[in-house]
Amino acid sequence: MTTTKALVVFSGGQDSTTCLIDALNTYDEVHAITFDYGQRHSNEIEVALEIGKELNVKSHKVLDVTAINELAISSLTRDNIPVSNELNDNDLPNTFVPGRNIVFLTYACIHAYQLGIKDIITGVCETDFSGYPDCRDNFIRALNLACNLGMDNNVNIKTPLMWLNKAETWGLADKHNMLEYVQNKTLTCYNGILGKGCGECPACLLRQNGLDEYFASK
């Protein structure tokens, strides 16, 4: 009998943790990859490792890609740039890290190639679009094609949250009886506060609004 395997691009935040939980309920074997890109809050990596351990992933690779920090100027890569709810002059949030998902997913494809894994799962979402161009479906499809052409491979980058809003994402965690786990154990906050977060940054507001909407719909 063939063992089904998946690799989850995993940050320890709400979306990627929900994807990890869903994958663990779908595949026989789930691996995780977490990226150290010199992010504002290195405790993201510690949270991701702890969750991976608690949920018993098959393997968990932490990859140093801090070179991107030298090029990608963002409030998530520079301590002296405060996280803002305002858009930059280019109409993108100041939390956008240029090229981040290009790098992450390309390395994920390479790691999956070495592990013999065909399904790569990432928690990007276009429905609750936060203004990040590298979270769009057309970008994922284009990069998936490029990686397959470049490695003569046939990996499939899956995006289970792509067309879900935040309330529906909470619902997916609840479906697996893990809503409270995601609520308390994940780190989504741009100010590095675990669980409910700071309650003020764009990530916390989106997360809490989605949770309120989900509870209201039950």
Residues contributing to the annotated binding site: 10-20, 189, 198, 201, 204
Give SS3 for 189.
coil
- H helices of the chain, in order, are 14-24, 43-54, 68-71, 100-115, 137-151, 166-175, 179-185, 202-217
How many whole angstroms separate alpha carbon 37 and alpha carbon 14? 19
Query: Closest Cα to residue 130, out of 182, 66, 201, 69?
Result: 201
Binding-site positions for ATP: 10-20
Q: Is 180 left (phi over 0), alpha (psi -120 to 50) or beta?
A: alpha
Binding-site positions for Zn(2+): 189, 198, 201, 204
- H helices of 65-162, in order, are 68-71, 100-115, 137-151
